[in-house]
Amino acid sequence: MAVSTIPFSSSEEKFSALFDFATEGIIVINSEGIIVLSNPASERLFGYRENELIGKPVEMLIPKRFGDHSHQREKYSNDPRPRSMGIGMNLYGKKKNGEEIPVEISLSPYRSGQSHFVIAFIIDITIRKRNEEIQKKQKEELQALANELDKRVKDRTMILEEALHELENSREELSIALEKEKELNELKTRFVSMASHEFRTPLATILSSLSLVTKYGEIGEKESQTKHINRIKSSITHLTEILNDMLSLSKLEEGKISASPELFNIKEFISLAVQELQGLTKPGQQIHFHHFGNQEVYLDSKILKNILFNLVSNAIKFSPESKPIEVFTSVNDSFIELKVKDNGIGIPEEDQEQLFQRFFRGQNAANIQGTGLGLNIVARYVELMNGNITFESKPEKGTIFIIKIPNYIKHE
């Protein structure tokens, strides 16, 4: 142990034993920062021989990179109390060979007479630091592994979710495709049924009437011949209507029809159309036309005429002889309203929901010629002009169709 002139108490022998055999380094420094006492553990820690540290400035044990240590000593001397150094900081000591080692230092002030000293307790924490670095590295590696695992789980989850989403989409697409195929098959069945009936009947009429026309022509039966010529004309007209319906539906399905609005007088236009339709009526049937409001409108006249002809043709077809058919139009600056009213067989309540479906025919219309396309075409025409169609009907009382279309008046 280095010799010291510090006057200890009567328990010097006990202190000397503790000082010499302590496992941590102990250094005593005077107020000028000179080492006045060092124990064997401190000498081994810093690599010095016995008593080699005595009389040396304490700064020789501190790496230069930590700056002016004397300033730190002055701060401590102004407030001397037991405490640990550099809390939250990494402290290093410098060995004789220049090697730096991590240390943990606790300071305690000591007074002997008028002299002031500081006792420094120094522990080499190299192994602890190494273990901490190992633990830190292991923690980082574990965290990186956990992050990678979490990323893989998220990636797998995302892939699985995408696969499930695609599967669900495929299932929905398949369901829609199957539903469309089912609908298409039903439409084909309805079309075949309609075509076989609607084409066969007028064709048979034409064939039989042609034979009779020839026969009556040979024997001079002019009246009977005329009757069968009219039957042929009627059948040809019906076939033309069927083909027109099929052509209109095809064009609508393919998006080849669009509204081309123009400015015209609706009262005059509907009056002329009603005159044409009067020629298609049954004996005793009269079509009455009523107009209210403005007469100038801005919309597609061709589409309007197709709508009117379909609705009035149906009214003629489904109304008995001598029953009147009424057509109403009313116009204001915002809307055009078209109503077609008949006093015919009406529409059964159970059929009304399906009325605008393709090829649909009501239960009470089985014996009346028709394709089941007319109202579907009308509804599509109305939609093209941004309008809407509704109806009211009672069996054996008649039906009224109401169409409301925006009136886009064009201001010059």
CB 282 within 8 A of CB 301: no
Q: What is the pLDDT of residues 285-321, one digit of tens each?
A: 999 999 999 999 999 898 899 899 889 988 998 899 9
Q: What is the pLDDT of residues 169-205, one digit of tens each?
A: 888 887 887 777 676 556 555 555 555 545 555 665 6
Residue 7 has pLDDT above 60, yes or no: no
Rounded to an integer, the average pLDDT of 392-411 is 86
**In DSSP terms, which residues pair with 335 in a beta bridge?**
406
Q: Report pLDDT for 274.
A: 94
Nearest alpha carbon to residue 70 among 115, 33, 103: 33
Give the chain's domains with CATH numbers: 12-124 (3.30.450.20), 131-250 (1.10.287.130), 257-406 (3.30.565.10)
Nearest alpha carbon to residue 259 among 404, 386, 390, 375: 386
**Three-point CA angle 264, 402, 271, nearest 5°:** 40
Residue 243 has pLDDT above 70, yes or no: no
Q: What is the pLDDT of residues 314-339, one digit of tens each?
A: 899 889 999 999 999 999 988 999 99
| C-alpha distances out from residue 170 to 156, 158, 162, 164, Å | 20, 18, 12, 10
**Residue 67, phi-psi category: left (phi > 0), alpha (psi -120 to 50), beta (remainder):** left
| C-alpha distances out from residue 297 to 331, 367, 407, Å | 8, 39, 6
Residue 411 has pLDDT above 50, yes or no: no
Mean pLDDT of the chain: 81
Angle between helices 222-253 and 374-384 (to 10 degrees): 40
Residue 6 banded pLDDT, cuts 50, 70, 90: low
Q: Report pLDDT for 412.
A: 46
Rounded to an integer, the average pLDDT of 341-351 is 90
Nearest alpha carbon to residue 316 among 348, 289, 282: 282
Among the residue ranges 43-47, 216-220, 396-400, the one predicted with the least confidence is 216-220
Q: What is the pLDDT of residues 92-130, one digit of tens each?
A: 999 999 999 999 988 889 888 888 899 999 999 889 889
Range 307-328 burial, b when 16+ CB lie within 10 A, else e: bbbbbbbbbbbbbeeebebbbb
Q: Report pLDDT for 213.
A: 66
Q: Report pLDDT for 233.
A: 67
Residue 225 banded pLDDT, cuts 50, 70, 90: low
The number of CA neighbours under 13 Å toward the Cβ of 268 is 6
Q: Report pLDDT for 83.
A: 81
CB 300 within 8 A of CB 259: yes
DSSP calls for 182-235: HHHHHHHHHHHHHHHHHHHHHHHHHHHHHHHHHHHHHHT-HHHHHHHHHHHHHH
* Structure-block tokens of residue 48: 């010095």
Find the length of the chain.
412
Q: Report pLDDT for 10.
A: 43
Q: Report pLDDT for 260.
A: 86
Nearest alpha carbon to residue 1 among 40, 27, 29, 28: 40
Q: What is the pTM of this model?
A: 0.49
Among the residue ranges 102-106, 167-171, 340-344, 407-411, the one predicted with the least confidence is 407-411
Q: How far apart are CA 233 and CA 184, in angstroms?
A: 33
Q: How far apart are CA 243 and CA 198, in angstroms?
A: 11
